Structure 1
Amino acid sequence: MIAPLTPARIVFDLDGTLIDSAPDIHAIANRVLSEEGAAPLGLEEAKSFVGNGAPVFIERMRAARGLAEARQAALLARFVGLYDRAHGLTRPYPGVIAALDALREAGHRLGICTNKPVAPARSVLAHLGLDPYFEIVLGGDSLPTRKPDPAPLMACFEALGTGACLYVGDSEVDGDTALRAGIPFLLFTEGYRKVPVADLPHRACFNAFDTLPGLVADCLSAP
């Protein structure tokens, strides 16, 4: 068991970091588009719209299919209404549960900071049995601002008490959030990132969750 001298506060992004939710997001997006008589999105196209929260996802989806700006509110409401229970196709990435067990056993306190609306975030965590790991879950609608504004991330750390801070995410939004907050960033490279790894500021990167507990220990022991 990895046992640092002082337990840390570790906050995770959700979509593309702990869970691969793109298949469900893709499915409900295409249901909304079908109701509008618009062509469906491809899976990779849907992934490219993820990261800045549901309103921006709908903006990008709407623009890609030439739907009127006046439809934004209605499309968003329909999407969010379906999103709360859209977890049938979502899975944790391999090794996530074992990594969370190891981190918690080492005494670390864990949280979630996501741009996903908080209701579907909590719903999918409960569905996958991940909710007991996290003391705080903040979504894109929990505060007046969302990532890359650092306020939600800092609110998560504050809720977790004291100790060193690490943020784990997969995207440009996550990297920018960590940079603005002045928090070391661990980059999961197998999520929904749109740019090369070298273009994202990060303390370390990893492509498999079985390496994360050791990586955390290395980061915490580094000067």
Structure 2
Amino acid sequence: MTPSTILFDLDGTLLDTAPDMGEAANRVLAEFDLPPLTAEQIYTHTSFGARGLLTAGFGEQAKHQDPIALRARFLYHYGQAICQGTQVYPGIDALLDKLTHLAMRWGIVTNKPEGLTHQLLDHFPRLQAAQVIVGADTYAHAKPHPLPLLEAAKTLDCAPECCFYVGDIENDTRAAHAANMKSIVAGWGYVGDPALIRNWEADHIFTTPTQLSAFLGS
């Protein structure tokens, strides 16, 4: 089935935000005199946001910390330098051109807070053209709950079964299936061990945005 509408995750799907997310986490770790995350740790945990990065950095000490306070410090640092190293993945601009050519509706559903999402997208005019933008706190639930995807589809006047969701972690696939949408794995993102992707039972797996673009045009 060819989708009439596509929803995208943001971190690890449209944007490589790992450099700035990792820097924010490292600034929090420095406040506790802890060593910084390695590049591998950053790229492994960025799609899990503040919780994933800080849990990796604090290790066993994480259980002795206030997660709400730590997240607040992370979001503060992230908001202060939100787009120093973040870049659009190669091939995304061409993919968006293809969506325009096909007159397909598209949007963004992310677990990044809505305010920070818009702050980041101010640096990427092409992504601001999304016809719906949903953050982690836009509705009562965030992914992997299906509510954000269902509300985004409703905004675009699209039946869920005619919508694809593109993301780079297993929870994105779970959210898509819970919303009765087809799932696409962004294999160019922070997918972790590629061998495990098959276990996610996604409907499609693409290793580059170019492959996804070709699929849409087929």
TM-score when scaled to structure 2?
Answer: 0.88
Distance apart, 1:194 and its partner CA? 2.9
Q: 1:48 to 1:7 in 2, by over 3 A?
A: closer
Q: Which runs of 4+ in 1 moved over 6 A?
A: none
| Residue 206 of structure 2: aligned partner | 206
Check conservation: 2:22, 2:53, Cα contact below 8 A.
no
State, as a whole percentage, how many aligned pairs show the same letter: 32
* Counterpart code for 1:42: T
What RMSD, in angstroms, separates the aligned Cα atoms of the two structures? 2.2
**1:185 aligned to 2:183?**
yes
* Counterpart code for 2:69: A
Alignment of 1:58-207 (within 5 A): 60-61=55-56, 63-64=58-59, 66-67=61-62, 69-84=64-79, 85-162=81-158, 164-195=162-193, 196-207=196-207
Per-residue CA deviations over 1:58-103 (Å, capped at 9, x if unaligned) read 6624641614544322221111112224111011110101111111
Per-residue CA deviations over 1:130-185 (Å, capped at 9, x if unaligned) read 33320111111211211110111111111111362111111111111112112111
Aligned residue pair count: 213
Q: Which runs of 5+ in 2 are unaligned?
A: none
Provide the C-alpha distance between the structure 1 equivalents of 2:166 and 2:91, rounded to a whole number of angstroms.
15
Distance apart, 1:208 and its partner CA? 1.6
Provide the C-alpha distance between the structure 2 equivalents of 1:148 and 1:7, rounded to a whole number of angstroms.
21
Q: Which runs of 5+ in 1 are unaligned?
A: 219-223
* Counterpart code for 2:114: V
Provide the C-alpha distance between the structure 2 equivalents of 1:135 and 1:101, rounded to a whole number of angstroms.
14
Q: Which has the higher helix share?
A: 2
Provide the C-alpha distance between the structure 1 equivalents of 2:123 and 2:217, rounded to a whole number of angstroms.
30
| Residue 221 of structure 1: aligned partner | none
- The answer to which of 63-72 and 202-211 deviates more is 63-72
